[in-house]
Every structure is written in C-alpha cells, then in structure tokens.
C-alpha cells in the first residue's frame, strides 16, 4: 500500500520562519515535522509519495540527505495546484486503496484501524474525524447514525458548522478518487472534490486521543509537547551536562548550551549558540541561531541564524531567518 502526503502548502500561518524553511522541515521534539508524520505510517505502507510544491527543492535536498524509514518518492508541482491538484499531479500510481495524509498532522492514532475500517465498509473512502471545541478552522462533517458522512463543509463559520467533528487530515480512499479530480487548474480537495464523493459512500473513522494540526505557532508548540510526553522525540530528552532546569529537551550535539537553563519542551538545532544564564522554555530554535547571555525565549519559534540579544525577552513570537530581537 502507498501513502500520498500533501506537503506543498506555503505555511502562511507560520510566517516569517516559513519564508525560508518549509513548514514540514521545522523541527519539533528534535526532528522535522515531516519525519514525525512519516513515523505514523504503519509497516504495511511500502512507499510514501510526497506531493511537494512550495520549496520543493529544499525538501528534496533534506530528504535525500536524511532518508526516512519508509521509502519516499517526491513529485513537485511547478505552480501551486491546491490540495486536490497536488493529489492529481502526484497520485498517478496510487495503490487501491491508498492512505491520504496532510503533512502537518501530529497524532496518536491507530492508522491500521483506519485502513481496516475502509476495507470493512467498502465505500469510496474513510476520513478520520476528531472532535474539537471550535470546528471553524477545519473541514467539518455531518454524520448519520451509521457514521456515514452526509455533508462536508470546509472552514464554515462557527454557526454554520454542522457538527464539531472535523477532518483530521488523514484518510483512506479508493484509487478512483484521483481520476475524479479535475485536471489542469488548481483544485481544493476539501472544497471541490470531497462533497461530490459523498454519494459513493464516505465513512468516518472517529479517532480519540491526541491530535493537532501543527500549522500555527500555538499548535506546533502543543504538538511538540505531546511528542515529548509520548516518548516520540528524535533524540535524548534529558538536559545536557553543564545546563540547569528541566527537560524534556532535544538539543543537537553540535549546539553550545553551556550555562543555559531549560524550562521544558525545547528543541535546539544544529550549531545554535545559547549563552550563559539564557532561559529556554516551550520553544523551537532553528540552526545557527544565537541566544545571547541572559536572554530568554518562551513559547516561541526562532528562525535560522536569528539572534536574540543579551538580556532580551522573546515571548509568543515567531522570528524569521536572520532576525534580530
Ligand atoms: N502539493 C500541495 N499543493 N500541497 C498543498 C497545497 C498545494 O497547493 N496546499 C496545501 N498543501 C498541503 C499542506 O502542505 C498541508 O500539508 C496540507 O496540504 C493541508 O493544507 P493546510 O494549509 O495545512 O490546510 P488546513 O490545515 O487549513 O486544512 C486542512 O487540514 C485540516 C486538518 O488539519 C484541511 O484538510 C481540513 O479539512 C482539515 O480539517
Ligand atoms: Mg494544516
């Protein structure tokens, strides 16, 4: 079986860091988001096809240098085709059924159970749904008593949302859906394709447990905390020798952190320099950034080569590449 992973978005809600780093390569709990997403694939998946677009070359280079456990093939769009267009462009040789995945979904789901549900009901597809407090930023489903999806509305207002059950960005679909996507123009899978598939029976796989779309700063940092707590970090999580405070942290061995204090849930990337008495909590620091002596970074993302000046406090911020704070 194959998985189709959509990875071509602009990551607008994580700007300015995504001006230089594609969202999927932002490290959380010690490794890029994309690798956590690929970790969720069960062993029955023999290949993941990555439908890339924005910064496809950056992703391709990284993936070639750091081969994931599952074999991957990348298919890049020359212009943004939307989620449906990306599926059409890259999904030419999908298995039947295939797994469809957004590349910013961090969850503790049983993907094997999702695939079993698809085989069991025999409809055209199965969408994993999770229940959330505010469904308006997501795709929302209306269900009947058998958990068949009757209606699907992408990003409705809170009042218009037919339920609080939303598309978790993970589904199992028959191969024929690829041929149902219009060719030659940008297409939104969620808005323009899924509603037309409902007549061919799409069922919900209601998932419980942790789920997060790591596409905004708050949600990304929440996903990072979960990955640490779930023991899914990319490297050791105790604080390095010569530092104080508490973990979990994921500090690249090439980083200099002597004398720093940690407050938990922190990723420090390669060649970062953290000065003495600096304090880091609930944050992601990208490669070659500098956090000077006595500075603090809390609930924030610091871009590559950015600099936080001595004694300065960064809180609830996203700093882009080479930014100064
Ligand atoms: N190849 C390609 N081309 N991929 C794209 C494109 C494109 O033009 N646009 C977006 N993507 C990728 C993104 O990189 C991401 O992995 C995925 O498609 C979904 O895009 P997002 O921008 O993250 O969408 P969203 O979070 O607003 O909404 C989607 O995810 C929600 C759950 O997290 C929808 O699928 C919602 O229905 C869903 O509830
Ligand atoms: Mg998203």
Q: Say if residue 25 is exposed, middle or buried (CB neighbours under 10 Å; 0-12, 13-18, 19+).
A: buried
Ligand 1, atom nearest to 52 Cα: 1
User: In 3D, which of 310, 313, 311, 308 has the Cα closest to residue 323?
Assistant: 308
Pocket test for ligand 1, best of 3, 102, 125 (most atoms within 8 A of CB): 102
* Cα-to-centroid distance, 137 and ligand 2 (Å): 9
The Cα 87–Cα 92 span in angstroms is 8
Largest pairwise CA distance in the chain: 62
The CATH-assigned architecture of domain 2-126+165-215 is: Alpha-Beta Complex (3.90)
Ligand 1, atom nearest to 5 Cα: 16
* Cα-to-centroid distance, 24 and ligand 1 (Å): 12
Beta-sheet strand order (sheet of 307-308): 273-274, 290-291, 307-308
* Cα-to-centroid distance, 238 and ligand 2 (Å): 30
Q: CA dihedral in degrees (287, 291, 296, 301; nearest 10)? A: -20
Q: CA dihedral in degrees (285, 291, 294, 296; nearest 10)? A: -30
Residue 31 known to be catalytic: no
Structural contact between residues 262 and 246, judged by C-beta atoms closer than 8 angstroms? yes
Sign of CA dihedral 251, 253, 254, 259: positive
Q: Measuring from atom 30 of ligand 1, which residue has the nearest CA?
A: 169
Counting ligands in written order, the one closest to the CA of 154 is 1
User: In 3D, which of 11, 40, 43, 42 has the Cα closest to residue 24?
Assistant: 11
- Number of C-beta neighbours around residue 44 at 10 A: 12
The predicted-structure confidence for 93-115, as pLDDT tens digits, reads as follows 999 999 999 999 999 999 999 99
- pLDDT by residue for the chain (325 residues), tens only, comes to 999 999 999 999 999 999 999 999 999 999 999 999 999 999 999 999 999 999 999 999 999 999 999 999 999 999 999 999 999 999 999 999 999 999 999 999 999 999 999 999 999 999 999 999 999 999 999 999 999 999 999 999 999 999 999 999 999 999 999 999 999 889 999 999 999 999 999 999 999 899 999 999 999 999 999 999 999 998 889 999 999 999 999 999 999 999 999 999 999 999 999 999 999 999 999 999 999 999 999 999 999 999 999 999 999 999 999 999 9
CATH class of segment(s) 244-319: mainly beta
User: In 3D, which of 102, 124, 119 has the Cα closest to residue 180?
Assistant: 124
Q: Measuring from atom 19 of ligand 1, which residue has the nearest CA?
A: 102
Task: For the chain, give every domain's residue range.
Answer: 2-126+165-215, 244-319
Pocket test for ligand 1, best of 130, 161, 169 (most atoms within 8 A of CB): 169
Ligand 1, atom nearest to 102 Cα: 16
The predicted-structure confidence for 161-212, as pLDDT tens digits, reads as follows 999 999 999 999 999 999 999 998 899 999 999 999 999 999 999 998 999 9
| Strand positions, DSSP E, 59-120 | 72-76, 98-102, 105-107
Two domains, one topology: 2-126+165-215 and 244-319: no
């Amino acid at each position: 079986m194959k998985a189709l992973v959509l990875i071509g978005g602009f990551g607008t809600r994580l700007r300015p860091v995504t001006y230089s780093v594609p969202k999927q390569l932002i490290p959380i709990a010690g490794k890029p988001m994309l690798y956590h997403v690929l970790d969720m694939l069960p062993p029955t998946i023999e290949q993941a096809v990555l439908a890339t677009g924005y910064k496809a070359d950056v992703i391709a280079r990284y993936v070639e240098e750091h081969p994931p456990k599952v074999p991957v093939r990348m298919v890049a769009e020359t212009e943004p085709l939307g989620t449906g267009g990306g599926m059409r462009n890259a999904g030419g040789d999908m298995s039947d059924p295939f797994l469809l995945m957004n590349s910013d979904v961090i969850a503790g789901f049983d993907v094997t159970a999702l695939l079993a549900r698809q085989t069991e009901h025999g409809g055209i597809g199965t969408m994993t749904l999770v229940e959330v407090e505010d469904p308006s930023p997501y795709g929302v489903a209306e269900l009947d008593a058998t958990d068949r999806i009757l209606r699907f509305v992408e990003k409705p207002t809170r009042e218009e949302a037919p339920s609080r059950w939303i598309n978790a960005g993970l589904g199992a679909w028959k191969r024929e859906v690829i041929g149902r996507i219009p060719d030659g123009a940008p297409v939104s899978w969620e808005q323009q394709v899924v509603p037309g598939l409902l007549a061919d029976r799409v069922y919900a796989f209601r998932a419980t447990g942790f789920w997060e779309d790591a596409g905004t700063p708050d949600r990304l940092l929440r996903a990072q905390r979960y990955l640490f707590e779930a023991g899914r970090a990319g490297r050791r999580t105790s604080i390095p020798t010569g530092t104080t405070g508490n973990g979990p942290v994921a500090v690249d061995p090439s980083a200099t952190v002597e004398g720093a204090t940690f407050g938990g849930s922190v990723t420090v990337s390669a060649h970062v320099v953290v000065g003495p008495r600096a304090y880091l909590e609930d944050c992601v620091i990208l490669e070659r950034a500098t956090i000077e002596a006595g500075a603090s970074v809390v609930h924030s993302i610091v871009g590559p080569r950015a600099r936080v000046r001595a004694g300065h406090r960064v809180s609830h911020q996203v700093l882009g590449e080479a930014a100064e704070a």
